[in-house]
Amino acid sequence: MNITGNLRKMSSVYDKPIQYSLVLRDVLEMMEPVPLNELVGREISIRFENAIHCVETGKKIKKSFGEGLSYDAWLTSPQASPSITRPELSRIHEGIAIRDYEWEMEHHNQPHIVYLTRTSDIKVGVTRATNVPTRWIDQGAVEAIILAETPYRQLAGLIEVSLKDHFPDKTHWQNMLRNVFMNTTPMIQAKDKALNVLPAEFEDFISDNDEVTEILYPVIQYPVKVRSMKLDNEPEIQGKLMGIRGQYLMFENGAVINIRSHAGYRVTLSY
């Protein structure tokens, strides 16, 4: 079967294992998602059709910025606002918007959580409360625990910043895809460590939810070595699909492709 469309980040449903779908658009028009779990263990091909369309405006572009934006959109879109990657910069709870008042009110002036996840190391992060557990799945975490719950984004970002000297905030994606763990501390102990170093000013926001969410991915075999592939350089990626984790498809030869980073790329999926 051949299906052509513009890529978006894969959607996921929490199950054991996670149920993935490939999300496609016909430029901007929605298409039927393609269930991916049933393709694990099968030969597939992803062919670049030499076109990229901005995920916000739909216009054809030569290069994407952020996650599928044209340069102009990247400069103005709230989806590329500095407060996306640095939550502590958000001030919408004060009525001050960085780029788009209504968007930031909807997405940032609402409950957020600070969490720990185990990807390869144990890292600290921030997300909207409504984005759990999707955020953890997107980063390829196998375990997650909530540290704090806040009424708006900036406060969660400030808590995260206060913990960065004790926990990384970035995922070592190669180790994550190899299923190699640099820190095997139990998550509840990691939470205790975080709370012990948390500044007193944030104590009112500590979560008493100590549940550890375990996440299982549809993977037949993890690679020993990882080779990241970009459709700009290799316009057709084919082989046996060995697994899906985070936003990556993993093939039997160790090749991996980050679907999210190819948002807006027009491709043909064959299987």
Degrees (nearest 5) of the Cα angle 266, 255, 141?
90
pLDDT number for residue 167? 96
pLDDT number for residue 41? 98
Count CB atoms within 10 A of the CB of residue 115.
28
Q: What percent of the chain has pLDDT over 70?
A: 100
- Residue-by-residue DSSP string for 226-252: -EE--TTT-SEEEEEEEEEETTEEEET
pLDDT number for residue 158? 98
Residue 145 amino acid letter = I
Q: Dump pLDDT digits (tens) for 150-180.
A: 999 999 999 999 999 999 999 999 999 999 9
